[in-house]
Structure formats: structure tokens, C-alpha cells
Amino acid sequence: MDRIRITGGVPLEGDIPISGAKNAALPLMTASLLTDGPLQLSNLPHLMDISTLVNLLTSLGVDITMEGDADDDGHTGRVLTLTCGDLSGTTAPYDLVRKMRASILVLGPLLARAGTARVSLPGGCAIGTRPVDLHLAGLAELGAEIELTDGYIEARAPRGLKGSVIRFPRVSVGATENLLMAASLAEGETVLENAAREPEVGDLANCLTAMGAEIDGIGTDRLVVTGVPRLAGTRYRVMPDRVETGTFAVAAAITGGDLTLRHADADGVSAVAEVMARAGVAVKQKAEGLRVRRNGAGISAVDVTTQPYPGFPTDMQAQVMALMAFSDGAAMITETIFENRFMHVPELARMGADITVSGSSAMVRGVSELKGAPVMATDLRASVSLVLAGLAATGDTLVNRVYHLDRGYERLVQKLAACGARIERISDRGESVRDG
């Protein structure tokens, strides 16, 4: 298994191109199941999770072609054309779903298009139990008959789906996306209340609109969908990744560097930018992207509580904790979205961080120095927080289980190395390897 070795202490300087958003690309890809026309998606990141979904969609009968492209910066993004002429199946098997929870996003589209779907229940997940009850209750509200058998969700809508009013008892990004797609082909009007407002939901809604769906309230927590009999293919560009943007913003801050994050959109990262500003980091929107720098000044401690958008994102909690580990005070970090999302804490502590967890809160007392160590984490964002800590620590940090990073960060090692980081990926045989 590959590892990443980092020798910390270099302030990062330069430009980093921000890739297309994984969490927007995945639901957009599943929207191809809703139409027999070609859906062409550009600016797709090259990531393991995308490949996993390509495999799942292919197994359902979606014909997929992939090309690379490059814009003026030489920034490569993939162009994927997905055409689902006829479905060849309606089952998402355990083997594929267990690799990626977002596979559940085929449920709504399959049900709407074919009137039947069989999707494996996602397995246990390292960041809490993460049930799918909101997805199922919403689809049942649209008239689907749902049974759970042998670890599979069996859903049927023999007479089609019918619009209804669905009020989510809690905000769920995935359930909002599944219902948005299903409702687009349902009969009549569907109202989604307490819907997730994450920009990735907006990206999906805009693409569905371009495919012929009728959706009002995009960007708000009340989406009104008027079902249409059919949707058409379209071309759509995936939004920039706001978690990748935030992660590299922390890389600039934690190393006392100066980075310009190309293609980054300040609007989507305002909660992170606000925390940065309060910590003493300058964040400025420029024509070419977002410039983030910390010149000499220390890092002020800032309390952070994760919330649904537009609040502070749970997907940035681990990274900001790494930053606060170097602050000149004490920061309380509270996680309200997922239980058990503090797996990075014991690893950061092994590097010398002073963190005490009590329930869903972590008290982070800043220290003047972290020391490099062999570390590993069991999820994507926790892993990248260890890379960030390693960039600012003294000595060598060896991050194990790099496959978590491959799921969500495109060319992470290359992007950081291009800005001066002493970082390399090494194979289990100890050889330096290129970061795909």
C-alpha cells in the first residue's frame, strides 16, 4: 500500500488549480439514468470515487466515454459522456455500493425511470452509522413501495411516482439529491421542505433544469419540482470543489505561505474563509482565483461548529482542527453532522497536538510545534488533515492508507510539491511513485 512522506516546514507558495467537485460530480453522473439522451459532464475530477461510479453505472447499462481536456492553465479535467439508451439492469450490487456510500444516489433515478430498483444497503461507515432512512421515507412519500430484504433495498413504483410534500426531519444532502431526481420525472408537483442548500445540490438542480426539469427555489431550503414526462441530455460543467479549496487554503495558512487557488469560488467557501480571517489569515478573491496567505503572524484560536450549508462544513472540520493545533490559544471544535468524526484526533496527538475530546466537541489547545510521525486515518478528510499537519510539523511524517486520499483529492502530492512542499508518494516497496 502506498504511503506519503512529508518533510515539514516549507511555507507553500504558488498556484494550485482547483478540480471539479467530487460531491457534485457523483450525483450529476447518476442523473444520466433519468434520460436516454447523452449527458456530457466536463471538469470532472480524476478520482477513485468517480471510477467506482463509472463501474456501477456501466453495470446498469449506461454507455460511458471519457476524454481528458485541458484549459488555458493546462488544468486537466475529464469530460464524460454518459448515455443510458436502455437500462440493462436495476440492481446496484453490494460489491460496488460498499466501496462508496454515494452509490445510493442511483436509487431515485432508477425508480423514476424504470419503476423498480434494487440497491444494496451501504455498509457500516467509519464516520458513524449514516442511515438512509430519509431517502427511503421520501421515496415512499412519492408512492414507492419499499422493502428491505437480505441487505438490499427493494423499491417498486409500478404505477409511477406521484408528487407530494416532503418535509425532511433533518437536513440531508444525499436524500435531497435522490428526491430531486425522482421528483423530476414524477407526476405532478413535489415540494421538498428543509432541503439541503449545499452548492452541490444547486449544481444538480441546475443540470436537471438544463435537461428539461422544472425546479423552483434552487439555492433555498424549499424546492418545488413540477414533474415532466421525460428529460433530455445536455452538457454541463461541474462546479469547483469547495472542500479541496478549503483544504489548500488551510495548507497556505498552516505553513505560513501564500497560495492562489485557481478556479476557486469564494461564495461557496464563505464559512471557511470567515474562520480563516478570524484566525488571522488573509483570504482575497482575485480574478484568477482565491489568494490565501499568512505572513509571519500567528494563528488565532477560533471556535468552530459544523452545520449544514451555509454553516461550516463537516468536510472541513479535520483540516481546521490541524490548523488550530498550531494556534496561540484554545479552540473548541464541535461536530454536529456526523458522530464519530474525530478519528484524526489520536493521530494528531501522536504528532504532539493537545486535544481533548468530550462527546461531540474537541478542545484544541495550540502548541508551538508538532513533530513528524508515522500516522494513518480511516477516512478521506481525516487523512488529509494529517498531510496538512505534516506540512507544518518538524521532521518527517509518513501518512499511511493513501487510498483514502485517492478517493477525493486529485493529484494531491503533485499540487503540493509544485508549491514547494517536500512531499512524495512511496510505494510499499519503498520506491518513489508518480501521483496519478
CA 285 to chain centre: 22
By beta-carbon proximity to ligand UD1, the closer residue of 75 and 101 is 101
DSSP state letter for 394 = B
- How far apart (Å, rounded) are the C-alpha atoms in residues 170 and 143? 21
Check residue 338 for interaction with ligand UD1 (CB under 6 A): yes
What is the three-class DSSP state of 95? helix
Helix, coil or strand: residue 275: helix
Taking CB positions, which residue lies at the least distance from ligand UD1?
Answer: 174
Given the complex with ligand UD1, which of 6 and 44 has the nearer CB atom?
A: 44
Residues 104/178, Cβ–Cβ less than 8 Å? yes
Half-sphere exposure of 33 (CA within 13 A, CB side): 35
Q: Which is nearer to ligand UD1, 152 or 338 (CB)?
A: 338
Closer CB to ligand UD1, residue 125 or residue 266?
125
Rounded Cα distance between 199 and 175, Å, is 15
The C-alpha cell at 141 is: 412519500
Site string for ligand UD1, 144-183 (x = CB under 6 A): --------------------------x-xxxx--------
Distances (CA, A) of 102 to 8, 97, 194: 34, 8, 20
- Within positions 89 to 108, which residues make up the interface with ligand UD1, using CB under 6 A? 101-102
Q: Enumerate residues 6+ apart whose C-beta is below 8 A from 378.
A: 126, 343, 401, 404
Binding-site residue total for ligand UD1 (CB under 6 A)?
A: 22
Q: Which stretch binds ligand UD1 (CB under 6 A): 35-43, 129-137, 295-303, 354-362?
A: 129-137
Catalytic hit among 84, 125, 207, 419: 125
Q: Give the residue with the Cβ less far from ligand UD1, 22 or 294.
A: 22
Rg over CA atoms, the chain? 22
Residue 134 or 186 with smaller CB distance to ligand UD1: 134
- Scanning 105-263, the segments in alpha helix (DSSP H) are 107-114, 133-141, 173-184, 199-210, 242-255
Binders in 248-307 for ligand UD1, by CB under 6 A? none
Of residues 170 and 222, the one with the C-beta less far from ligand UD1: 170
Taking the C-alpha atoms of residue 247 and residue 405, their distance in angstroms, rounded to an integer, is: 12
Q: Of the candidates 46, 75, 98, 130, which one interacts with ligand UD1 according to CB under 6 A?
A: 130
Q: How far is it, in rounded angstroms, from Cα 316 to Cα 98?
A: 24
Give dist(CA 64, CA 84) in Å, integer: 9
Q: Where are the beta strands (DSSP E) in 307-393?
A: 330-334, 354-358, 361-365, 374-376
- Find out whether 185 and 161 touch, Cβ atoms under 8 Å: yes
Q: How far is the CB of 109 from ligand UD1 (least distance, A)?
A: 15
CB of 221 to ligand UD1, least distance (A): 13
* By the rule CB under 6 A, 320 interacts with ligand UD1: no
Residue 337 binding ligand UD1, by CB under 6 A: yes
Pairing of strands 396-400, 374-376: parallel
User: Is 207 a residue of the active site?
Assistant: no
CB of 171 to ligand UD1, least distance (A): 6
Among 131, 151, 188, 346, which residue interacts with ligand UD1 (rule: CB under 6 A)?
131
**Given 2, 241, 265, 315, the residue binding ligand UD1 (CB under 6 A):** 315
Q: Please say which residue, 198 or 435, places its beta carbon nearer to ligand UD1.
A: 198
- Cα 410 to Cα 244: distance, rounded to the nearest angstrom: 9
The mark string for 192-221 relative to ligand UD1 (x by CB under 6 A, - otherwise) is ----x---x---------------------
Q: Are 153 and 116 in contact (CB under 8 A)?
A: no
- Interface segment toward ligand UD1; rule CB under 6 A; list 55-63, 128-136, 233-241, 359-367: 128-136
Task: Provide, rounded to whole angstroms, the least separation between the CB of residue 176 and ligand UD1.
Answer: 8
Smallest separation (angstroms) from ligand UD1 to the CB of 152: 16
Residue corresponding to grid cell 439522451: 37
Q: Where does this chain touch ligand UD1 (CB under 6 A) — which range of 131-139, 207-215, 218-226, 325-333?
A: 131-139
Binding mask 6-45 for ligand UD1 (x = CB under 6 A): -----------------x--x-------------------
Closer by beta carbon to ligand UD1, 140 or else 433: 140
Peptide bond into 310 cis (omega under 30): yes
Instruction: Please name the residues in contact with 37: beta carbons below 8 A apart, sequence gap of 6 or more.
Output: 83, 211, 231, 232, 233, 234
Q: How far is CA 151 from CA 96, 124, 128, 154, 400, in A?
A: 14, 12, 18, 10, 31
The residues carrying an active-site annotation are 125
Q: Which residues bind ligand UD1 (CB under 6 A)?
A: 23, 26, 101-102, 128, 130-135, 170, 172-175, 196, 200, 314-315, 337-338
